[in-house]
Amino acid sequence: MRARALEALAECEREREREERALEVERQRRLGPVYARRSKAIEGIAGFWGIVLTQHGEFANYVRAADWRYVEAIRRVEVEWAGAGAWDFAITVEFGEVEGRLRAQSVRKQFTVGEDGEVRSAAVEMEWPKRYDGTFFAWFRWTGERPGEEFANGDELARLFSEELFPYCVRYYAEAQRDVEEEEEEEEEEEDMY
């Protein structure tokens, strides 16, 4: 009796996973055009991605102070899901030029998610200042195949982009703008006091 109940429970769990995957595929299909229109709108806002990335507290865990000038040069971030696989995705990051330090370039990094939930990726070529090998830029060479020998927690940064930064970028941008407005109001109040 217990064995049958456990098998029925396991089948329910497999069915739940199939349904979640189907829902995720449908969600991605429906949001794709919305994300495309949003990306077009973002093109008209200078520094949008730099503001979003500096606003997100967790992103700061993956960059050094010296990296921020390059983070602020990010013009575009796109996440595309593979469709049928639902969990596989690609992240494209477009950098503007940082004069004498970084050429303008677009880098696309593919990620696969195994049945066990492990994220893997192939290293991609990118030109960056060599003295920054141990920084945020090293993430573009992260594969997930050599723990301890490559960018630490590269899978977590990939998930941060795909699950938070990209889908909710407008929220983080709005929070940053609200913070700026509050600071300006406080400064005006202080000036009025003197």
Domains of the chain, residue spans: 2-193
Q: What is the pLDDT of residue 78?
A: 97
Please, which pLDDT band fits residue 146 given cuts at 50, 70 and 90? confident
What is the rounded CA–CA span in Å between residue 93 and residue 183? 30
CATH 1.10.10.10 fits 2-193, yes or no: no
Higher pLDDT, 81 or 48: 48
77-111 pLDDT tens trace: 999 987 655 678 999 999 999 988 889 999 999 99
- The overall longest dimension of the chain from CA atoms, in Å, is 81
Q: What pTM, to 2 d.p., does this model score?
A: 0.83
- H or E element, residue 19: helix 2-42
